[in-house]
Amino acid sequence: MDLRVPKTFLRGFFEYLFYSILPDCRILGEKSSVILEPICSLKIENMNIVGWKLIDEWIDDSFDLAKVRTRMEEAINHADGSDVEQVLYPPIAKNVFELDDNPFFYPGQRLAEFLYEFLPRTPDLSKFTDGICHFHPIEDADLSDSDYRAMRRFASAMERYGKKHVVALIVAKGDPHKYIEKSIESKSQFVRYMMRDLREKSFNARIFYPKKGDDSIGVSII
């Protein structure tokens, strides 16, 4: 069984990612880059991705994709060193950091807020939530321990909306320095680079069940 992933989705996903990279900032006095991973909800029919939307767009009425870099820069520049150290993952490459949900940029956790605050108020939108896609900023597309925990919670929460299973899709890319360099050039150059040479190892997909664990599935780009 394969999850069929349209190239149109991937282009849109990489456009989101372009705006989520702060390529040139200073972290603790050193020139650095920061990546805020996009998290997309997926609408899936017969194992085809037919719709998608950033979680941020669901939960934030004022969300503006073009302003994400500005918000990242302002948050980092106005935080003291101890705040920054707490919200940045250890370097994923030399002077390249991943920015997770945190008190001064995304209060709480985006997925948890979506599941436990937003969806209960707007349950009809569960029809458009059959899976989650997020980005791994390195070549490894394997789900981490935290990914497994998050997806098990996701599957359990979605059972109340009649979902028998949910899908996790990971999109990964190799050397972050190379695609960050492209992000400095232009959005079109960046997206073109990210769409080049899409290999099977760039993706990982699994089905998660509310009570029965999970299964690996293939990915086909269409």
* pLDDT above 90 as % of the chain: 55
Q: What is the pLDDT confidence band of residue 102, given thresholds at 50, 70 and 90?
A: low
DSSP state string for 74-88: HHHHHS-HHHHHHHB
> Would you state the structure tokens that stand for residue 77, as one six-digit string?
């520049």
Contacts of 47 (CB under 8 A, 6+ apart): 1, 2, 3, 4, 217
Q: What CATH number should be reported for the domain whose range is 2-20+35-61+108-221?
A: 3.40.140.10
User: Residue 50: pLDDT above 60?
Assistant: yes
pLDDT at 105: 61
pLDDT at 89: 67
Task: Classify residue 65 by burial, with Cβ atoms within 10 Å: 0-12, 13-18, 19+.
Answer: middle
Give tens-digit pLDDT for 184-203: 999 999 999 999 877 766 89
State yes or no: pLDDT of 84 exceeds 80. Answer: no
Of 11-15, 51-55, 105-109, 135-139, give the lowest mean pLDDT range. Answer: 105-109
Distances (CA, A) of 174 to 69, 76, 91, 169, 186: 22, 25, 15, 17, 19
- Evaluate if residue 213 carries a pLDDT over 60: yes
| Per-chain mean pLDDT for the chain | 88
The CA–CA distances, whole Å, from 148 to 8, 83, 217 equal 27, 27, 15
Kindly list the domain boundaries of the chain, sorted by start residue. Answer: 2-20+35-61+108-221
- Residue 199: predicted pLDDT: 72
Which pLDDT value is given to residue 86? Answer: 64
pTM, entire model:
0.89
